[in-house]
Amino acid sequence: MENKRQRKLKDFNPNNCPVVYSLNKIGNKWKLLILHYIKQGNNRYSTLQKVIPDISRQTLTNQLRELEDDGILERIIYPQIPPKVEYKLTEMGNSLQPIIHEMSKWGLQYVTPTARKK
């Protein structure tokens, strides 16, 4: 029996569309932010909470688990007391970086000047 967590509609893609597949894996605001900040070196749970203050603890935990289940993140547990856990991008996670970079460039082009100041 497979021990994967079931996610409602997570793999819904009746026409096997590559865009739908991509959105199923990274298509929410939290996952993209998490990937962005892990790439910048915020690879521990507590630092992710600090740089993404609007995300709840439960949502952060769920999103990290989903990204790990999808092979985008790797969870590294260091055998020490207190336990230390870090996240790093897998090869698949690193392959998303050019896409995230292009989204950032596009956003900078169209974001309103007042939104940039926040």
Which pLDDT tens digit goes with each residue over 102-112? 988 998 988 87
The CB density around residue 63, as the number of other CB atoms within 10 Å, is 21
Whether 88 shows a pLDDT value over 90: the answer reads yes
Which pLDDT tens digit goes with each residue over 24-82? 788 888 999 999 999 999 999 999 999 999 999 999 999 999 999 999 999 999 999 88
What is the DSSP-derived secondary structure letter of residue 6?
P
Please tell me the predicted confidence (pLDDT) of residue 70: 92
Please tell me the predicted confidence (pLDDT) of residue 26: 85
- Please report where in the chains the tokens 């207190």 appear, as a residue: 82
Please tell me the predicted confidence (pLDDT) of residue 18: 84
Please tell me the predicted confidence (pLDDT) of residue 20: 81
The CATH architecture annotation of domain 18-116 reads Orthogonal Bundle (1.10)
Please tell me the predicted confidence (pLDDT) of residue 37: 94
Whether 3 shows a pLDDT value over 50: the answer reads no
Q: What residue spans define the domains of the chain?
A: 18-116
Please tell me the predicted confidence (pLDDT) of residue 6: 54
- Please report where in the chains the tokens 């096997």 appear, as a residue: 16
**Residues whose CB is less than 8 angstroms from the CB of residue 32 and which lie 6 or more positions away in sequence, other chains included:** 26, 100, 103
